[in-house]
Amino acid sequence: MLTVVILAAGKGTRMLSSKPKVLFDLAGKKMIDYSINLALSLKPKKVIVVLGDKAEEVEKYISKYKVEIVIQKAQLGTADAVKTALPKIVAGSKVLILAGDMPLIDKELLTTFIKETTKDVSFISTKVETPDGYGRVLRDSKLDVISIVEEKDCNQNEKNIKEINSGIYLSTVSKLKVLLKDIKPNNSQKEYYLTDIITHGSGSFISKDSDKFLGINSREQLSVVSKIIWMQRAKYHLNNGVDIVDPSNCYLDDDIVIGSDTVIFPNVTIKSGSKIGKSCMIYNNTVIESSIISDNVEIKYGSVIEGSNIGSKSIVGPMARLRHGTVLKGLNKIGNFVEVKESELGLGSQASHLSYIGDATIGKDVNIGCGFITCNYDGIDKHKTIVGNNVFIGSDVQLVAPIKVGNDVLIGAGSTIVKDISSSDLAVSRSEQKNLKGSGLKYLLKTKKKKR
């Protein structure tokens, strides 16, 4: 039986922010998400999160998880934080203690650590070339663990030790209670160090993969760890048949799906909840969020797609925006500087440039000319535009909703349409053109004279 305690009470002063450290964005999620999801993946009896600085904000965010929260009212150190959690720990369980700012730890490592640990108290250590900032592991001549010394309390010889403490501990509840009682703040920080539960004969698990233990205490470290996570995700998709032109320059959230033979160009962001089909082309500077892209779709440069569903063999962009509720049935073309919102376009329909389509249902094989607008908002309410099949809409046309356009309709360029159009009709709304003889030249000469 296992209880996991996550320590997330630190102030994060080196982040230089009014925001709690564990709520910083990290490769598409909050920092605290990584620790909680990892803890839950172990299927423990209970997960306890210890909060301190700005606890209300963090508690509100993690309320979506099935975890218990305790508050460390005074920042008296990591041992005090665990003491705060003791009343919530399940009796008779083993206690795994994790940090809330180490997102590279994985389930495989922890499962092996728990399985191989036989001592009442154990911890994970690793060896690094540059141990600055970490507690050093002291061992005797038989290589048994003596203690852990925090860097600020190390002498010069101890600072040269390469084996460091990861900050991950495993203990029986009974042993943990006894050890926590005896801890005193006899150190330079005058804090209650959790490292003091490690005494002569404690168990140690040495991990060879030191990169997993990178913690985050500054924005620079946040950036470094984010880059590692982005690269891990890119490698996952590369190994599953996706072509990524520059794996170091794409930003893929961890729950997305990408089909084989799809090509991802540099500086593409694909956010949570998105599914990309097979043999798609996603060009530079595209952002896709919570959207479904079918097979053989081409998303051109600089397009933004949010909450949309794009049918197969469609082309979007460059510089197009599909907002929430957009549905393209397939074989569609949405060109440069076209915005679509809460609208459906039937098979083969297209709007090639400089148009706005909002709150509309467009039929099959509709051609929408440049400068088209659905006037869907009257200042109070939104209204619907319905267009039938095989309609040709000329350039610079406005459809003032609510309005219905039948099948096989032609709408002349420059028209403002305020009444329904029956199938097979031609609709034109223009004032009569007048040519005033010679007036153009007179106006131009007058303008040039004024400029002089």
So which residues are the catalytic ones?
A: 353
Nearest to 382 by CA among 357, 410, 401: 401
Which CATH number is 220-427 given? Answer: 2.160.10.10
CA–CA dist 379, 373 (Å, integer): 16
- Alpha carbon 49 to chain centroid distance? 22
pLDDT for res 443: 84
How high is the pLDDT of residue 11?
82
- The domain segmentation of the chain, as residue ranges, is 2-217, 220-427
β-sheet bridge partners, residue 51? 8, 71
What is the Cα–Cα distance from 198 to 62, expressed in whole angstroms? 31
Each residue's pLDDT, cut to its tens digit, for the chain (452 residues) gives: 999 999 999 888 888 999 999 999 999 999 999 999 999 999 999 999 999 988 999 999 999 999 999 999 988 999 999 999 999 999 999 999 999 999 999 999 999 999 998 899 999 999 999 998 899 999 999 999 999 999 989 999 999 999 999 999 999 999 999 999 989 988 888 889 999 999 998 999 999 999 999 999 999 999 999 999 999 999 999 999 999 999 999 999 999 999 999 999 999 999 999 999 999 999 999 999 999 999 999 999 999 999 999 999 999 999 999 999 999 999 999 999 999 999 999 999 999 999 999 999 999 999 999 999 999 999 999 999 999 999 999 999 999 999 999 999 999 999 999 999 999 999 999 888 889 898 888 888 888 777 66
List residues bridging with 95 in a β-sheet: 3, 171
Q: Beta 46-51 vs 2-8: how paired, if at all?
A: parallel
Assigned CATH class of 2-217: alpha beta
Q: How far apart are CA 134 and CA 152, in angstroms?
A: 9
Residue 270 and residue 208: Cα distance in Å, rounded?
A: 32
Q: In the numeric block, which tokens belong to residue 41?
A: 């993946």
Q: What is the DSSP string of 14-26?
A: GG-SSS-GGGSEE
Instruction: Tally the residues of the chain.
Output: 452
Which tokens in the block code for residue 271?
A: 């956010």
Q: Look up residue 295 and give its DSSP letter.
A: T
According to DSSP, the residues that pair with 334 across neighbouring strands are: 316, 351
Please list, residue by residue across 18-44, b when 16 or more beta carbons sit within 10 angstroms of its beta carbon and e when fewer do: eebbbbbebbbbbbbbbbbebbeeeeb
Q: Which residues contact 21 (CB under 8 A, 6 or more apart)?
A: 10, 11, 12, 15, 31, 53, 101, 216, 217
